Homo-oligomer: A and B are copies of this chain.
Amino acid sequence: MDDKPKPNGGEQWIEERFWDYFATRFKIKKVLFSGKSPYQKVDVLETEGHGRMLLNDGLVMITERDEFVYHEMIVHVPLFVHPEPRRVLVIGGGDGGTVREVLRHKTVDRCVLVEIDDMVVDACRQFIPQTASCLDDPRVTVTIGDGVEFVAKTQEKFDVVIVDSTDPIGPATPLFGPEFYGNVKKTLTDKGIVVSQGESAFYAGDTQKALLRILAGLFDRVNLYNYTNMSYPGGLWSFTFASRGLRPVWDLEPERVQKSGLDFQYYSADVHRGAFAIPAFMRKNLAEFLSEV
């Protein structure tokens, strides 16, 4: 956040810089919440065109207007590849949007959210119920704690683990490491899948490569899929997909998507398959780590 949100005054814009040469700006109406936790600065703003917006350390996490894209794509891809997802672990994602989409799957009877920063959860519960209200669902356990420690210690097994993290700076840095993913693998059931926020191919190709290298050292199958995040710089963003065997396109049954009766705003079986058709420059950068889809 380049300009601090000003509670009073003329036209207010919030700015997110990327590599110090590119920036996105959003016009804001009002600061709804602004706090500093032990981990990061947390802001919730009312924007002019994107509804309410959550920022961590000045980086846009979600906006009410387009969060459906991120949350549908991080959740429904693994949950429709896994034949019967029952237990799902979400690390990060304190805004609740990922949990909301997980709960739409009737097979799911337990969803554990491990968020390090209770200020994010509290701010979203109060100001962004669109994503956070699902956290009161009886199938959900909200744990405030360190996701790295959680996967190191838990005895519980999960069918799908979703790493809904910020960029690999600040509190999320250890989430991008090999120890963390080794422990994630241990918590997965035999057909387990882990999906992670996978950064920008265009602006952070090296980070993508580092993350895929770690995953490829641990998992039988590693892939990456794209979606367009309308409020992240450049728009072209990715999720990584790693599994103990399941293939992200081959093992998708489009009929199951149809039969679910779920009404999506972004996701479809076609979109799911199309998302794994990654642009040539990404394939060149990452080919050594990518499994067949």
Contacts and interface: CB of A to CB of B under 8 A. Distances in A.
Interface of A: 13, 15, 19-27, 47-50, 66, 68-69, 202, 226, 228-232, 234-236, 264-268, 270-271, 273-281, 283
A275 B279 CA distance: 10
- Sorted nearest first, the 5 A-B pairs with minimum C-beta distance are A235-B235, A274-B277, A21-B49, A274-B274, A270-B277
A24 B23 contact: yes
A25 B22 contact: yes
Nearest to A266: B279
Number of identical protomers: 2
Contacts of A226: 228
A278 B283 contact: no
A271 B278 contact: yes
Nearest to A232: B235
A19 B25 CA distance: 12
A48 B18 CA distance: 12
Contacts of A264: 280
Contact of A21 (B19, B26, B228, B275): B26
Contact of A25 (B23, B49, B228): B23
The residue in A49, A235, A268, A270 that gathers the most chain B C-beta atoms within 10 A of its C-beta is A235
The residue in A274, A276, A278 that gathers the most chain B C-beta atoms within 10 A of its C-beta is A274
B22 A24 contact: yes
A189 B102 CA distance: 50
A32 to B, nearest CB: 17
A19 B49 contact: yes
A271 B282 CA distance: 11
Contacts of A236: 228, 230, 235
Contacts of A230: 202, 234-236
